[in-house]
Amino acid sequence: MVNSTVTSKPKPSHNASYDSCPSQTTEEQHEPSGYDGTLLWDAHLQGLMFSATSFGSFLILVPAGILADKFSARIIAFIGVSLAGLATYALPFIAQHFTYGFIGLRFIIGGSLGMIIPALASIASRWFVPDERATLSAIYTSGAQISGIFLGLVAPYLCSLKEIGGWVSVYYLCAFLALVWGFLWLVFASNYAEKNRSISDGEKLYITNNVIPRKGRKSGIFPWKSAFTSLPFISILVVRVTGLIQHQILQYYAATFIRDVLHTDIYRNGLFIALPHLTDLIPKMLFSTLADLLKRRKITGYTASVRLFQSIGCFGSACCFAGLVFLADCNRVIPAVALLGLSGVFASFVSPGANTSALSIAPMYTGTIHSIDMLIGFLLASGSVYLTGIVIHKGFIIPSFTAIASRWFVPNERSTLNAIHTSGVQLSGVFLGLVTPPLCSLKELGGWASVYYLCSTLTITWAVLWLCFSSNFPDQHRSISDDEINYISENMIVKKGQKKGIFPWRAAFMSTPFLAVLLARTTLVTQHQIMTFYTTSFIRDVLKSDLKSNGLFTTLPYIASFIAKIGVSGFADHLKQRKVLSYNTSTRLFQTTGNFGIALCFAILAVVADCNHVFLSVSLLVLQAAFTTFVSPGMHTSALSIAPLHAGGLHSVSMFIANLVSSAAPTFVGSILVHVIV
Report pLDDT digits (tens) over 433-473: 667 777 777 777 777 677 777 877 887 887 788 777 777 77
Buried b (16+ CB within 10 A) or exposed e, 32-42: ebbbbbeeebe
Q: Is the pLDDT of residue 268 over 80?
A: no
Determine the average pLDDT of the residues in 338-351.
82
147-156, 353-362, 417-426: which range is least confident on average?
417-426
CA dist 180 and 174 (Å) reads 10
Can you give the pLDDT at residue 27?
45
Q: Is the pLDDT of residue 86 over 90?
A: yes
Share of the chain above pLDDT 70, in %: 69
Give the residue, 18 or 201, on which the prediction is more confident. Answer: 201
**Mean pLDDT computed over 146-173:** 78
| 100 CB-near residues (< 8 Å, 6+ apart) | none
Amino acid of residue 413: E
Residue 600 has what pLDDT? 92
Give the torsion through C-alpha atoms of 209, 213, 216, 221, to 10 deg.
Answer: 160
Domains recognised in the chain with CATH numbers: 40-213+227-382 (1.20.1250.20), 391-428+478-491+506-677 (1.20.1250)
State residue 652's pLDDT score: 67
pLDDT band of residue 33 (cuts 50, 70, 90) is very low
Distance CA 549, CA 542 (A): 13
Strongest mean pLDDT among 49-53, 80-84, 273-277, 338-342: 80-84
pLDDT at 83: 92
C-alpha distance from residue 30 to each of 4, 14, 265, 333, 673 (Å): 9, 19, 8, 18, 26
Terminal CA-to-CA distance of the chain, rounded, Å?
A: 25
218: left (phi over 0), alpha (psi -120 to 50) or beta: beta
- Top pLDDT among 295 and 373 is at 295
Residue of 55, 52, 57, 54 lying closest to 80 (CA atoms): 57
Please give the DSSP secondary-structure letter assigned to residue 1: -
Average pLDDT over residues 389-395: 43
Q: Mean of the pLDDT values across residues 7-27? A: 45
Q: How confident is the model at residue 394 (pLDDT cuts 50, 70, 90)?
A: very low
pLDDT at 148 over 50: yes
| Phi, psi for 410 (deg, rounded to 5) | -75, 155
The highest-confidence range among 87-96, 403-412, 448-457, by mean pLDDT, is 87-96
Q: Quote the percentage of the chain above a pLDDT of 90.
A: 2
* pLDDT band, residue 8 (cuts 50/70/90): very low
The average pLDDT across 191-209 equals 83
Lowest mean pLDDT among 387-396, 409-418, 523-532: 387-396
Contact between 591 and 630 under an 8 Å Cβ cutoff? The reply is yes
